[in-house]
Amino acid sequence: MAKIKRIGILTAGGDSPGLNAAIRGVGKTALGHYGMEIIGFRDGFRGIVENRRLKLDKNALAGILTVGGTILGTSRDKPHRMLIDGKTRDMTKVIVENYEKLGLGALVCLGGGGTQKNALYLSEAGLNVITLPKTIDNDVAMTDATFGFATALDIATDAIDRLHSTAHSHHRIIVAEVMGHRAGWLTLGAGIAGGADVILIPEIPYDVGKIAEAIGRRSRRGTNFSIVAVAEGAMSIDDARAFRAAEAKRERARTLHDKKEAKVELAALESRHTGNTMRLARQLEELTHLESRVTILGYVQRGGTPSAADRLLATRLGGSCADLINDGVFGVMVAARGDGTEPVPLQKVAGKRKIVPLDHPWIQTARHVGTCLGD
């Protein structure tokens, strides 16, 4: 096998703490240990399409370990469905051509679930692709952890800690919305660590009446405030039933008309779900007669200096990525496995999501300490 002399690297999807640490981990190992040259592409897959790049030498990698965000920039552009001059185009051929013109031996893609699918697509187009799992949601399949999660968990926990004092002072219900569209890892972890009284995650549809009952029991015991940690993707039992029905309809659809109809129905449900946390707070106020206030943590969970845990994870995943490239292992994601790493075929990762199992120890722990999960 010919020695690989030059590799490309890009960050795609949402930003996340630890991206720069991962870039540095790949870069310093590839440069210093294997003597490879590294090219960074700006703004995700669009950067390799438009050939916008920079050389990642030792100077470029210096001082980025503790910096949040990504020095390369990011985007949610897909290689096969990219908006170019106002039209959606398949740019796969252009990516392949630029990869070959630059003499790349491998392309490293840092990202979450969508990036894993896009990377598989490019791998099937003939490129040597390898990925690293990034997302604050911790929902990438086949890896113990994703970098970005630990930092976001710290931030969300700190926010819940701070909300306790104002909830107690004003005898209120504080509803804190935490990120996590379809997976509840972040809300569950922060809720337990922050001592939330109610934790609502997408995996467990909730009954507003049961939440109100739990808060009422606290009031009768003399505790006239409650903290509710709710994932942005958490749903009531009725809403979850409607979503399941719409998704089943989409899966059964055979004609183009039926597929479009199902897509419109799902979009309408998604739109209706916007503002769900505000509605929940109003419902709880009406049922408990306690003032309710909402705090939406939003993008603050993605920002700032990555935690020590994320720096360590990103660095060791990045180093292992360079090792695999040197060994000629491609078409894989570098997964965290215990204190080590493991290459997992992209076919086993793409299109899958790691959600919280209902028998997970974190759920059992929450129930044992008396936390209401809405069911």
pLDDT in tens, the chain (375 residues): 678 899 999 999 989 999 999 999 999 999 999 999 999 999 999 999 999 999 999 999 999 999 999 999 999 999 999 999 899 999 999 999 999 999 999 999 999 999 999 999 999 999 999 999 999 999 999 999 999 999 999 999 999 999 988 888 878 899 999 998 899 999 999 999 999 999 999 999 999 999 999 999 998 898 888 999 999 999 999 999 988 888 888 888 888 888 888 888 888 888 888 889 999 999 999 999 999 999 999 999 998 899 999 999 999 999 999 999 999 999 999 999 999 999 999 999 999 999 999 999 999 999 999 999 999
Note the pLDDT of residue 153: 97
Say how many CA atoms lie within 13 Å of 87 toward its Cβ. 3
Q: Quick check: pTM over 0.75?
A: yes
Note the pLDDT of residue 313: 97
Q: N- to C-terminal Cα distance for the chain? A: 57
> CB of 110 within 8 A of CB of 10?
yes
How far, in Å, are 21, 75, 95, 306, 310 from residue 148 at the CA level?
10, 17, 28, 7, 6
Q: Beta partners for 134? A: 147
Note the pLDDT of residue 258: 80
Q: List, by residue number, the catalytic residues.
A: 137
> CB of 94 within 8 A of CB of 324?
no
Q: Where are the alpha helices (DSSP H) in 129-231?
A: 149-170, 185-193, 208-220
Burial class (CB within 10 angstroms; exposed 0-12, middle 13-18, buried 19+) of 339: exposed
Structure tokens at 78: 């897909």
Count CB atoms within 10 A of the CB of residue 107.
Answer: 26
> CB of 260 within 8 A of CB of 267?
no
Note the pLDDT of residue 1: 64
> CB of 346 within 8 A of CB of 171?
no
CA-only gyration radius of the chain, Å: 22
Angle at 286 between CA 280 and CA 287, to 5 degrees: 90
| Axis-axis angle for helices 361-368, 185-193 (nearest 10) | 40
Q: Residue 197 carries which DSSP code?
A: S
Long-range CB contacts (< 8 A, 24+ apart) of 279-283? 280/175, 280/200, 280/208, 280/228, 280/230, 281/173, 281/175, 283/208, 283/212
CA-nearest of 207, 202, 195, 188 to 167 is 195
